[in-house]
Homo-oligomer: A and B are copies of this chain.
Amino acid sequence: MFQETLEITTRGRGTLDITREVDAVVARSGVTTGLCHVFVQHTSASLILCENADPDVRHDLEQWFARQVPDGDPRYRHSLEGPDDMAAHIRSILSNMDLSLPVSGGRCALGTWQGIFLYEHRHHGHRRRVVVTVSG
Contacts and interface: CB of A to CB of B under 8 A. Distances in A.
Contacts of A89: 50-51, 57, 60-61
A97 to B, nearest CB: 5
A122 B5 CA distance: 36
Nearest to A57: B78
Given A34-B133, A104-B131, A135-B135, A90 B64 contact: yes
Interface string A59-95: 1110110001100000111100000001001101111
A75 to B, nearest CB: 6
Contacts of A48: 93
A35 interface: yes
